[in-house]
């Protein structure tokens, strides 16, 4: 089979499609013929060597995708050959066939395409736990979403709006501002403005928002400034750099809460995965959750897809098509 591989860390130029052996079926696993593969910044970090990679060369990136089950291993009862499935955290997804543990499989309902599944699972599951677990958003809550035009950001805006919240977005450009508004944000501020003061002015009574979802990191203290007394900041990413240290005395004096967020602490069982994914799929089928059309690249053009993602020109999801 063909796979997108690399043998040394570096830029997109280290990526090459090559023929490798098909995966061998194992107990409690299936082999999926991939139809669409999600590209994420974690793939770039692993290619550069920022994230640890286990195993030997050639390395194969990719953790998210969707396809059709071709083989079923002994012990697998809930899935059969021909089933349409997706997954969000299975290694070596940048290939024509992937060995997937059965407890990682997410069944795809009719009406959800392979491309939609590969575009929504990782980012959608993240937005789902943020809005339902890290801070359970309620009707009339005032929510500030960093990077509101990003993949998680757009979905988080929509999930918060569906719960009846008022949503303020933050983006880095006027172009991205339009995408955040299209996703349903009530208002969107730019990072190069005095957004902390503007966010407080936007909030009811000027006291600050109820919760800030911060995926930037370096903005953490500003996020606290934009939050009301007894409000919350949910920190779940460092796209803009490491966050500064937080003095717990500030949290005590203001009665504010800092919560960390990591997806893999919230999808620890097969039931967790299916429940959250089913909720996302239901919202998509009911037209309550909208995705920007993904940008498609053939698997053979994986290096170009990496260049495109690193350029920050993309708005929607980037998919690799075997």
d(CA 40, CA 49): 15
Confidence label for 315 from pLDDT (cuts 50, 70 and 90): confident
Q: Topology of domain 139-260, per CATH? A: Rossmann fold (3.40.50)
Confidence label for 41 from pLDDT (cuts 50, 70 and 90): confident
d(CA 11, CA 308): 12
Q: What are the domain boundaries of the chain?
A: 2-120+267-321, 139-260
Tell me: the pLDDT tens digits for 99-111? 999 999 999 999 9
pLDDT of residue 123: 96
pLDDT of residue 269: 96
What share of the chain has pLDDT > 70, as a percent? 100
Confidence label for 316 from pLDDT (cuts 50, 70 and 90): confident
Other CB atoms within a 10 A radius of the CB of residue 35 amount to 20
What share of the chain has pLDDT > 90, as a percent? 92
Q: What is the mean pLDDT of residues 65-88?
A: 98
Confidence label for 83 from pLDDT (cuts 50, 70 and 90): very high
d(CA 250, CA 225): 11
Say yes or no to pLDDT of 36 above 90.
yes
Say yes or no to pLDDT of 52 above 80.
no
d(CA 128, CA 125): 5
Q: Topology of domain 2-120+267-321, per CATH? A: Quinone Oxidoreductase; Chain A, domain 1 (3.90.180)
Q: Are 63 and 137 in contact (CB under 8 A)?
A: no
Tell me: the pLDDT tens digits for 130-181? 999 999 999 999 999 999 999 999 999 999 999 999 999 999 999 999 999 9
**How many CA atoms lie within 13 Å of 94's alpha carbon, on the beta-carbon side?**
28
Confidence label for 306 from pLDDT (cuts 50, 70 and 90): very high
Confidence label for 50 from pLDDT (cuts 50, 70 and 90): confident
Query: Considering all CA atoms of the chain, what is the largest pairwise distance in Å, rounded to the nearest integer?
Result: 63
d(CA 230, CA 254): 7
Tell me: the pLDDT tens digits for 215-236? 999 999 999 999 999 999 999 9
* DSSP code of residue 267: -
Other CB atoms within a 10 A radius of the CB of residue 69 amount to 20
Q: What is the mean pLDDT of residues 62-66?
A: 97
pLDDT of residue 313: 74
Mean pLDDT across the chain: 95
Confidence label for 55 from pLDDT (cuts 50, 70 and 90): confident
pTM of this structure: 0.94
pLDDT of residue 133: 97
Tell me: the pLDDT tens digits for 84-94? 999 999 999 99
pLDDT of residue 239: 83
Tell me: the pLDDT tens digits for 20-32? 999 999 999 999 9
């Amino acid at each position: 089979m063909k796979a997108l591989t690399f043998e040394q860390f570096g830029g997109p130029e280290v990526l090459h499609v090559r023929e490798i052996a098909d995966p061998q079926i194992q107990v409690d696993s299936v082999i999926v013929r991939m139809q669409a593969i999600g590209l994420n910044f974690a793939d770039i970090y692993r290619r550069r060597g920022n994230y640890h990679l286990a195993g030997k060369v050639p390395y194969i990136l990719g953790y998210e995708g969707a396809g059709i089950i071709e083989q079923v291993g002994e012990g697998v009862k809930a899935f059969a050959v021909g089933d349409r499935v997706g997954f969000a955290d299975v290694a070596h997804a940048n290939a024509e066939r992937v060995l997937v543990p059965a407890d990682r499989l997410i069944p795809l309902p009719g009406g959800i395409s392979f491309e939609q599944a590969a575009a929504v699972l990782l980012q959608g599951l993240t937005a789902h736990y943020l809005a339902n677990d890290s801070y359970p958003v309620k009707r009339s809550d005032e929510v500030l979403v960093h990077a509101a035009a990003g993949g998680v950001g757009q979905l988080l805006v929509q999930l918060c709006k569906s719960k009846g919240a008022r949503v303020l977005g933050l983006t880095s450009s006027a172009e991205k501002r339009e995408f955040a508004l299209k996703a349903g944000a009530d208002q969107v501020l730019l990072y190069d403005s005095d957004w902390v003061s503007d966010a407080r002015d936007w909030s009811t009574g000027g006291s600050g928002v109820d919760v800030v979802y911060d995926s930037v990191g370096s903005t953490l203290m500003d996020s606290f400034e934009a939050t009301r007394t007894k409000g919350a900041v949910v920190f779940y990413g460092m796209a803009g750099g490491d966050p500064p240290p937080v003095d717990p005395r500030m949290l005590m004096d203001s009665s504010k809460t800092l919560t960390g967020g990591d997806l893999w602490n919230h999808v620890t069982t097969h039931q967790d995965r299916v429940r959250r994914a089913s909720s996302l799929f239901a919202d998509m089928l009911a037209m309550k959750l909208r995705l920007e059309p993904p940008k498609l690249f053939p698997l053979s053009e994986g290096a170009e897809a990496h260049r495109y993602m690193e350029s920050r020109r993309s708005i929607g999801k980037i998919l690799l098509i075997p």
